[in-house]
Amino acid sequence: MALLVIEGGLSTAYAVRTYGVSPKIVARWVERYKTEGSKGMADRSSRPNVMPGLTSQAVAERIVVLRRQRLTGKHIAVAVSVSPATVSRVLRRAGLSRLKDIAPAEPIRRYEREHPRDMIHIATSTSRSSDDLNGLATAYVGWRYPAVGAVPCAPGRCNESV
């Protein structure tokens, strides 16, 4: 587009209508082509080179230290004299937004035995009597245990006291 406006004699108004952009965009691309040539036509990042409002490293480190002491974002904001939004951004960058991110989770407790089938597992189920379910029982008689299953232990490896 910029090349057509400069060398092809295309008017700015026609380029605006044809390409569906504003006159300001056409002028920007033409100026960029004049100063930088064809390399200036490549897409550029819109990220700023300098971020003047960025939180200082000392403040960010203080926020992280307070978070590791399990303080909430609002308490940290008051202690460090910054806004809660700033605390939230710093904690998100540090990966400490949630309390579970601060301390690692406890390992899963596993009941491991020296040999397979050393541990007996008994499964039970409960049910009410049919009279209780029909509303015919006059007194509570408790629960019944109709099914009891046990996993047998390996020969020679059973707990003798059971």
Q: Which residues contact 33 (CB under 8 A, 6 or more apart)?
A: 2, 3, 6, 40, 41
Distance, in Å, from the CA atom of 103 to the CA atom of 96, rounded to the nearest integer, reads 10
Q: Note the pLDDT of residue 145.
A: 47
pLDDT at 162: 45
Mean pLDDT by 10 residues, the chain (162 residues): 78 88 90 86 83 88 95 95 95 90 81 76 64 52 50 56 48
Global pTM reads 0.42
Domain ranges for the chain, please list them.
2-41, 57-101, 112-154
**pLDDT for residue 48:** 83
Please spell the DSSP secondary structure of 12-75, one letter per residue.
Answer: HHHHHHHHT--HHHHHHHHHHHHHHGGGGGS------S--TTPPPHHHHHHHHHHHHTT--HHH
pLDDT of residue 60: 96
Closest C-alpha among 57, 70, 64 to residue 95: 64
The pairing of strands 144-150 and 122-127 is antiparallel
